[in-house]
Amino acid sequence: MFAGKPIIGLVGGIGSGKSFVARLFGELGCAVIDSDAQVRAAYDDPGVRQTLRGWWGERVFQPDGTVNRAAVARIVFNDPAERTRLESFIHPLVAGRREREMEKLATDPRVVAFVWDTPLLLEAGLRDRCDAVVFVDAPAGIRVSRVRRQRGWDEQELRRRENLQWPLDKKRQMSDDVMNGAADADGVRRQVRAVLSRILSQKSQKPGSGH
């Protein structure tokens, strides 16, 4: 726990509905820590931009000087060494932002728990920081449909991205709860409410377990 408030990690396949689940947790009083938003914020830092320019030149920048994340993705998803270099640079920055955000919210009585919407939560070794990990499940066909509509990816691109992460079966086995991310909005909302209620009811059983 962090300041007596549980930390809930979200995992699952790309397009499974994690962001929607995170938003529902937020509606119930959880502070959602969105790693993707923190990466975007890191890319706005002049020092980060200077480093990326030193590595890859102007090809990873938009005409307005902002980082072209699609161009970065093309580089790192095709070169494991470059991906490792970027992650080793960006992940500590994101971790620092996450901790500062949590410190800022730690004493807010309106915040009942923290939710980490972090795509590589397990791969980054954050399992032990979480009081509970929730796996958001959805059939492959639905996930392909979602990423095609939302990101313009085809099935091959989805598979290529997921092959860089741990297998979904492994993530599911390491989770405490499984949610059906393919259910309708009310169905997902009921699942979120039930899981949060259980986690909050258990927090008093972990005295002094602050992370």
Q: Can you say how many angstroms the Cα of residue 185 is from the centroid of all Cα atoms in its chain?
A: 20
Could you give the percent of the chain with pLDDT greater than 70? Answer: 96
Mean pLDDT across 109-122: 94
Position 164 pLDDT exceeds 90? no
Average pLDDT, the chain: 92
Distance set, CA 123 to CA 61, 93, 96 (Å): 28, 17, 18
| Tokens standing for residue 68 | 């072209």
What are the phi and psi torsion angles at 177 (to 5°)? Answer: -140, 150
Region of 17 on the Ramachandran plot (φ > 0 left; ψ -120 to 50 alpha; else beta): left
Domains along the sequence of the chain with CATH = 7-205 (3.40.50.300)
Chain segment 28-61, per-residue pLDDT in tens:
999 999 999 999 999 999 999 999 999 999 999 9
Closest CA to 107 of 211, 1, 35, 3: 3
Closest CA to 10 of 138, 159, 202: 138
Residue 209's pLDDT band, with cuts at 50, 70 and 90, is very low
Say if strands 30-34 and 7-12 run parallel, antiparallel, or are unpaired: unpaired
